[in-house]
Amino acid sequence: MAAKSFDLIVIGAGPGGYVAAIRGAQLGLNVAVVEREHMGGICLNWGCIPTKALLRSSEVFHLMHRAGEFGLKADKIGYDLEAVVKRSRGVAKQLNSGVGHLLKKNKVTIIMGEASLPAKGKVSVKTDKGAEELEAKHIVLATGARARELPGLEADGEQVWTYKHALMPPHMPKKLLVIGSGAIGIEFASFYNTLGAETTVVEVMERILPVEDAEISGMAKKSFQKQGMKIMEKAMVKQLDRAKGKVTAHIEAGSKVEKHDFDTVISAVGIVGNTEGLGLEDLGVKVDRTHVVTDEYCRTGVEGLYAIGDVAGAPWLAHKASHEGVMVAEMIAGQTVHPVKPDSIAGCTYCQPQVASVGLTEAQAKEAGYRIRVGRFPFIGNGKAIALGEPEGMIKTVFDEKTGELLGAHMIGAEVTELIQGYVVGRQLETTEEDLMQAVFPHPTLSEMMHESVLDAYDRVIHI
């Protein structure tokens, strides 16, 4: 049977792939998307969305304990873990079916099955009904990534979990070890700690949330410790001894190795790209460790083959994947496009307190040779933060002293994951301190702190 022909075939229907497919179809391309498991990829099914649904439950639980502060009464506060998880799965399911609907609405052909690339311009799909052969001038790889497993620390789903197990826990941990303090590790640590698990976080780097500005990491650490979390930095889990009802972790810190017992371990030591089984080697696609090597336009070097999102490397974020998807689809459709600028992609961690940032940290700006001005504004100086009962946090801004360019912004505190977009837009518009100081921020809002932080960088702050 002759291969079915398309203008564009996208492999993987995560936030990279499904967005690329929709944008391609909007621009008049005949598009197919091949997906082996679920519409919406990790993001909707096992990542961004279900974690945020869980974290919303723990946030409400936390607030219920503070009811008295707000003149309210809440007795016998408790939770039903099964119901918390059920809500999270329900939210994921709702969005997952939404993606299928959007693809159909845009007349994208959906093919459920596992794709590989037998030759340039060819896609072979293993479906329930046998193999299906497709061809297209343009193919976008958007196959995403999965949890990294370190030897000896492999997940078993019972005592040692990856993020997937942690999203559908077989039990509520009593004594929990989280290995790795990137966004994924810290979000689960925050969730389970708030629900009452005695939580220890072990981070091999010198501080938790290692990609964040050092000052923000330090504030996060203090806050987590105040909430009862134990934080071990510059420490490495060397071995896990599994026995009935307990896991003994051998943790190397400094020159000694300590043994600590836990009932549950979450391994959050990074992710690896899904590059296997696609036939990339035979096509001559370059793979560096676990990600496909591309240029700034997501081109792999093999004509007509592109890679976007997690499979194409850091930052491993859904909005990066989607933005690359749009850029590639527009490029294929013949439009002029601009490469995605990595230092304009914000990162958010939805722990309590939240953390968000964009651009260079203070240390990175100095290393890059900038003479900088730094502004800071604490939540305690903001009327809305006090009214909300959220006085903990800070907004920090970093400017190039010479040009006034906003080089970076770093936040910790309530709702900062919603605030950061203001600075994202600012950086996209190449905003200077002058524009930000002239902007009139509404009162009373948390966003006023974004203004005050800029004013502070230029010695004009009002409310501290």
Binding residues for NAD(+): 180-187, 203, 270
Q: What is the DSSP string of 361-403?
A: -HHHHHHTT--EEEEEEEGGG-HHHHHHT---EEEEEEEETTT
Residues 6+ apart with CB under 8 A from 160: 153, 154, 240, 242, 247, 264, 265, 266, 267
Applying CB under 6 A, which residues contact ligand FAD?
11-17, 34-38, 41-43, 46-48, 51, 114-115, 142-145, 163, 184, 274, 278, 309-311, 316-319, 321
Give min distance, CB of 35 to ligand FAD, in A. Answer: 5
Residue 443 falls in the annotated catalytic set: yes
- Beta-bridged to residue 411, according to DSSP, are 356, 395
CA 234 to CA 269: how far, in whole Å?
14
Catalytic residue among 65, 101, 171, 443: 443
Give min distance, CB of 188 to ligand FAD, in A. Answer: 8
Two tokens, residue 332: 């294929």
Q: Please tell me whether residue 12 adopts helix, strand or coil conformation.
A: coil
Burial of residue 425, with CB atoms counted within 10 A of its CB: 0-12 exposed, 13-18 middle, 19 or more buried: exposed
Two tokens, residue 279: 């036939």
Extract the annotated binding site for FAD: 52, 310
Nearer to ligand FAD, 13 or 208 (CB): 13
Give min distance, CB of 432 to ligand FAD, in A. Answer: 28
Nearer to ligand FAD, 203 or 433 (CB): 203
Nearer to ligand FAD, 404 or 413 (CB): 413
Give min distance, CB of 319 to ligand FAD, in A. Answer: 5
Nearer to ligand FAD, 164 or 463 (CB): 164
Extract the annotated binding site: 52, 180-187, 203, 270, 310
Q: Please tell me whether residue 146 adopts helix, strand or coil conformation.
A: strand
Going 262 to 266 to 270 to 271, the CA torsion angle's sign is positive
Give me the active site residues, please: 443
